[in-house]
Amino acid sequence: MTPSLIKQLCPQRQGFACLSCYRSEISGFVTDFLLDPRLAQLRFHMRGTLQKHGGHLRIGSLFSGWGVLEMTVRELERQWNQVFPDQPLHADVKFLCERDRRKQAYLMTRFSGIPVFQDVADLAKKKAPTADGSAADVPEARK
């Protein structure tokens, strides 16, 4: 890969794995979602769903990739709580799961303290191998 291509992919010269470069795009997307008048109906339904579940959103991520969806949810939580302080959102990423070793390494640094499982096939067990070589309890789904 040429240095000019790396610079195009990531101004910080970290290559494909640097998603922090996309933080402003994620932030802009979330801002549009929260403020666009055409999405008022969707926000209304989301507020109703959050109220029904006490404002808590538990996330278990399969095929996590670089964690863009999880980063977007964290940004949504941050901005949501500024726009709707009377009805806070608590987004809690419980686990991630990714087979690609490069992505696992990135996820472990980006989501420190959250288990990154190696294979979705292992999630049917009570304990599953994690990317750091240990094993962790697989969180149970709530109904």
What pLDDT does 87 receive? Answer: 87
What pLDDT does 127 receive? Answer: 95
What is the rounded CA–CA span in Å between residue 50 and residue 56?
A: 7
What is the rounded CA–CA span in Å between residue 132 and residue 96?
A: 13
CB 139 within 8 A of CB 60: yes
Q: How many CA atoms lie within 13 A of 132 on its CB side?
A: 14
pLDDT bin (cut points 50, 70, 90) of residue 22 is: low
The DSSP symbol for 82 reads: H
Question: What global pTM score does this model have?
Answer: 0.74
What pLDDT does 142 receive? Answer: 63
Query: Which residue type, as a one-letter code, is found at position 95?
Result: F
The average confidence (pLDDT) of the chain is 82
63-113 pLDDT, tens digit per residue, is 999 888 898 888 899 999 998 898 899 989 999 999 999 999 999 998 999
CB 48 within 8 A of CB 91: no
Q: What is the DSSP string of 27-80?
A: HHHHHHHHH-GGGHHHHHHHHHHHHHTTTEEEEEESS-TTSHHHHHHHHHHHHH
* Burial (CB count <10 Å: 0-12, 13-18, 19+), residue 51: exposed
What pLDDT does 20 receive? Answer: 57
